Amino acid sequence: MKSSTSAGAVAALACVLGAAVPAAAAPAADSTQLERAVASYEAMQDYLYVDDGSSLYLEQYPRTAQDRPYSYEWPFSQAHVATLDLAVLPEPVGSTFADDLADRGRGQEHFWNADGGATGLPGYDSYPRSPYGDGGDIFYDDNEWVALAKVQQYLERGDDDALERAEEIFDLVVTGWDTDPTHPAPGGVFWTQATWSTDRNTVSTMPAAQLATRLYMVTGEDEYLDWAERMTAWTDRYLLAPNGLYWDNVALDGSIDRAQWSYNQGVPVGTYTLLYQATGDEQYLHKAKAIASDSYRFYVTEGRLQHQPMFFNSIWFKNLLLLESVTGGETYRDAMADYADAQWRDVRDPETGLFPVDGETTELLGQAAMVQIYAALARPSGTRDMPVSVQTVSRCLAGDAYVAVRATNDGTEPVDVTLSTPFGKRAFAEVAGGRSAYQSFASRGTSIEAGDAVVTATAVADGEEVTFTVTYDELSCS
């Protein structure tokens, strides 16, 4: 194994830790958490990345004679998310992970089953396909984690292909909805297409609702909102326990697995937070706060957090931070930092930088989870996932080449927007939720080369700023 991280990451890290921050610069990353995120990532690459040209990982380190050559999809997806979380950190660190992120994208596609599974729609198999493996069953939750990462990549990078894949995965997920009204607890998304399980899970239904909400915020298509509300309503009706937390799943015989995993609480918190942002309906914010508070008491106050897997806790914490980005406060961020400190002190092997679950074996899932936790804490406190989508079009008008740029505020809070191209710049004040800033920039020529449009969105409420860079196509109008 060896690290695929560019040497620039170390140099960039040193720059962040040692350089003065210019006036009016974006908020700097937390240096301690950033250092830990990069170190944990490097350990993941050194010990778990398979250096054979496949862009894939091991399931665990050290590997055993029974292990397959590569990891399954669920662990790989979390390594993919960990890389994405680093790639979107403030500069100069984030861009040093661009090549690694592209490598994760290549590895991800080795799981893609273009022919489709039981429902005929394509999706990601549970194991790499030929030539790296023989594929496997399609799990709906596996696909939902990938789709949520694709939406994140679209929001952070303006990657239209990523958005298209997320929409494609949602089409697959809808085919997993239970449509038989004679079933106990009819509805819900099945966990897998495999015939050996007929469970409908919180983890297959609530991430689907979160994905639907994200897609609604980006596209404005009502069908996504309808599905989000349908999925959350089903989960609340059949899997929300009296203590305010969610059970794991309900089988077709009506029996309920009453395990209460931390990630099954985190995803609903994030989903209801996003539904509040998308609709402005206060009931959703109230639900998000209630689930967050009840789960905080259950896991933190009552001392159950360390009994949950690291990869469940990372998802729980990241969704709590999403809520706090809306409500303010740092109670959940502080709890996340305390957990991260304890893992670094008590679980991490200082010789390898790995986080072994039993003192010996490190799972890719757990290592990737800790990278995600430190990367999330490294982001400046209060950094929100600003819901702005950007599109560019190269077009001909009266024989001249133009670049049209549109930035749409997919949230509910007003934002100031600046559109910039090599041919001009225009600022728009207080673009309301659901409205767009649009300008067609004249090149004053008959052709243009491919280039970048830069869109800066600034939240009116608190001045937080996010910059998007989106490529436009070359064009000849002669």
Contact 202, 249 (CB under 8 A): yes
The pLDDT assigned to 28 comes to 54
For residues 45 and 37, what is the distance between their CA atoms, to the nearest angstrom? 12
Query: Please, how many CA atoms are within 13 Å of residue 420, restricted to the half-sphere of its CB?
Result: 8
The pLDDT assigned to 312 comes to 98
Architecture of domain 8-183+214-222+272-378 in this structure = Alpha/alpha barrel (1.50)
φ and ψ at residue 181, rounded to 5 degrees: -70, -10
**CA 73 from centre of chain:** 15
- Collect all residues with Cβ–Cβ distance below 8 Å to 350 and sequence separation of at least 6: none
The pLDDT assigned to 50 comes to 98
* Number of Cβ within a 10 Å radius of residue 421: 23
Pairing of strands 388-397, 436-442: unpaired
pLDDT digits (tens, 9 = 90+) for 369-417: 999 999 999 987 655 556 788 888 888 878 889 998 988 887 778 899 9
The pLDDT assigned to 327 comes to 87
* Number of Cβ within a 10 Å radius of residue 27: 14
- Collect all residues with Cβ–Cβ distance below 8 Å to 54 and sequence separation of at least 6: 70, 107, 110, 128, 132
Domain ranges of the chain: 8-183+214-222+272-378, 388-476
Is the CATH number 3.20.20.70 carried by domain 388-476? no
pTM of the model: 0.79
The pLDDT assigned to 387 comes to 73
For residues 478 and 476, what is the distance between their CA atoms, to the nearest angstrom? 6
Query: Within the chain, which residues score under 50 in pLDDT?
Result: 1-26
The pLDDT assigned to 465 comes to 83
b/e map 403-419, b = 16+ CB within 10 Å: bbbbbbbbbbbbbbbbb
Helix (H, G, I), strand (E, B) or coil at 190: strand
Strands (E), 137-253: 200-201, 249-250
For residues 460 and 458, what is the distance between their CA atoms, to the nearest angstrom? 6
Same fold, 8-183+214-222+272-378 and 388-476: no
* Number of Cβ within a 10 Å radius of residue 451: 16
For residues 313 and 426, what is the distance between their CA atoms, to the nearest angstrom? 43
The pLDDT assigned to 385 comes to 59
The pLDDT assigned to 5 comes to 45
The pLDDT assigned to 216 comes to 95
The pLDDT assigned to 381 comes to 66
